[in-house]
Structure 1
Amino acid sequence: MSKLIDGQDGRPRCAWSASAPEFDAYHDSEWGYPVGDDIRLFEKLCLESFQSGLSWRTILSKRENFRAAFCGFDWNRVAEFDAADVECLLQDAGIIRHRGKIEATINNARRAQEMVAEFGSLAAFFWRFEPDPATRPEPQTQTTSAESVALSKALKKRGWKFVGPTTAFAFMQAMGLVNDHARGCICREKADAARARFQPPATTPGA
């Protein structure tokens, strides 16, 4: 099966981008481009955790609701959520009402605070797991990798939850640690160029 499909403008894109109307803009402007913003990194990892067992379309369609429910994914605010907040979120039909995932998000916000204290930023931690592009296999042939396994283990060691290797790999694809756009996709070269300009932040303990 081809990994490419012509978009509405006639130019080739990853075939999955045509599987739902909302995927077109997400594919062209977000997926696979390097991200150094901590809020976006935290948000994406949380949303990937919520996706576990579900489709990304389901999560993407509810993303604005998640942002409202979790204070724009400001982990310092989410870290203050208590049992009453959990019960309130369980009544919010705009998000995925899964107690374990909601509680994991609150837990992970607290772990994010610790990580920032240790590394200076979330980005400084996550970008340590960027694989060597020269060793990458053919795009879209993996759902995990040695690096996503290592990232998952490192997060779990620090107390993060719902961060298995598949979740970690999807996070790495989306946030540009891995350029998994299909060969021939109009966004592959754009993502490579963005990565060439991007400078991952250095670790600054205690920042």
Structure 2
Amino acid sequence: MHGSATNVCAGRCLMVRMEQLPASGAIIGADGLTRPAWASVDPMLRDYYDTEWGVPVRDEHGLFERISLEAFQSGLSWAIILRKRPAFRAAFADFDPERVAAFDEDDVARLLDDEKIIRNRLKIRATITNARATVALRDSGGLVGFVWSFQPDATPAPLTQSDVPTRSAASVALSKALKEAGFVFVGPTTMFALMEAIGIIDTHLVDSHRRGSSGVWSQAPRHLS
């Protein structure tokens, strides 16, 4: 999903002009901080990168929301999802798994009529399905422990955006396990993006001011030997 001539992504697509990008794919902002290109153009994405992306999420509510939004993002830009996030929260009962799990056909119809969100029937139904799977997982330790159990032993150390993979053995395994637990719209690429977003892996560029900031990978290398 990344590395094309006009599209730079880390699971987060943003169209930028090629001449804006240095060879490393990292940009030093007006504030003197270095960020990847996708987080250097749009102020909303920059704030998301600086304050949320890669920060560990270890609560059921927050993790269910992230899984849901990652599913809605599939095929779209993350900027669209962020701009619609308040509307998503309002439409999906603030992503409370128990409340969403109780949604019925009337709720599906309501959501399909809501112009403020992504009105994709399959993704809407997937969110409800995943809420029910989330609740069911409570009997076997819960969603958080389940997802974080797939944390790998090492994390990437990308120098440029093209060094960032879009899937890994861990994301493939997580995807398979979630599907077996009843989740849908949780493919390996989507799960890799989730793992990046919630700090299970650190794919911040080694020159980024956010590299190693999650605390999970406090020893994440800032350069390659």
Structure 2 length-normalised TM? 0.82
**Distance (Å, rounded) in 1 between the aligned partners of 2:86 and 2:30:** 26
Conserved 8 A contact 1:33-1:179: no
The reply on whether 1:132 has 2:153 as its aligned counterpart is yes
**Once the 2 structures are TM-superposed, how far is the Cα of residue 97 of structure 1 from its aligned partner?**
0.2
**Distance (Å, rounded) in 2 between the aligned partners of 1:114 and 1:31:** 27
**Distance (Å, rounded) in 1 between the aligned partners of 2:209 and 2:126:** 36
Conserved 8 A contact 2:156-2:202: no
Could you tell me which residue of structure 2 aligns to residue 38 of structure 1?
60
RMSD between superposed Cα atoms in Å = 1.5
What is the percentage of aligned positions where both structures have the same residue?
A: 50
**Distance (Å, rounded) in 1 between the aligned partners of 2:28 and 2:217:** 26
Amino acid at match of 2:146: F
Could you tell me which residue of structure 1 aligns to residue 94 of structure 2?
72
Q: Structure 2: 5+ residue runs without aligned partners?
A: 1-22, 219-225
* Secondary structure at 1:13 match in 2: strand
Amino acid at match of 1:147: A
Q: Structure 1: 5+ residue runs without aligned partners?
A: 198-207
**Once the 2 structures are TM-superposed, how far is the Cα of residue 116 of structure 1 from its aligned partner?**
1.6
**Distance (Å, rounded) in 2 between the aligned partners of 1:124 and 1:156:** 16
Amino acid at match of 1:126: V
The 5 Å alignment of 1:107-126 reads: 107-119=129-141, 121-126=142-147
- The higher relative CO (CA closer than 8 Å, separation ≥ 6) is in 1
**Distance (Å, rounded) in 2 between the aligned partners of 1:3 and 1:35:** 27
Could you tell me which residue of structure 2 aligns to residue 3 of structure 1?
25
Could you tell me which residue of structure 1 aligns to residue 16 of structure 2?
none
Residue by residue over 1:22-80, the C-alpha shift from the partner in whole angstroms, topping out at 9 and shown as x without a partner, is: 11110011111211121111100100000111111111110011011111110000000
Could you tell me which residue of structure 1 aligns to residue 9 of structure 2?
none
2:122 is aligned, of 100, 105, 111, to 100
Structure with the higher fraction of residues in helix conformation:
1
**Once the 2 structures are TM-superposed, how far is the Cα of residue 19 of structure 1 from its aligned partner?**
3.4
Structure 1 length-normalised TM? 0.89
**Distance (Å, rounded) in 2 between the aligned partners of 1:6 and 1:137:** 19
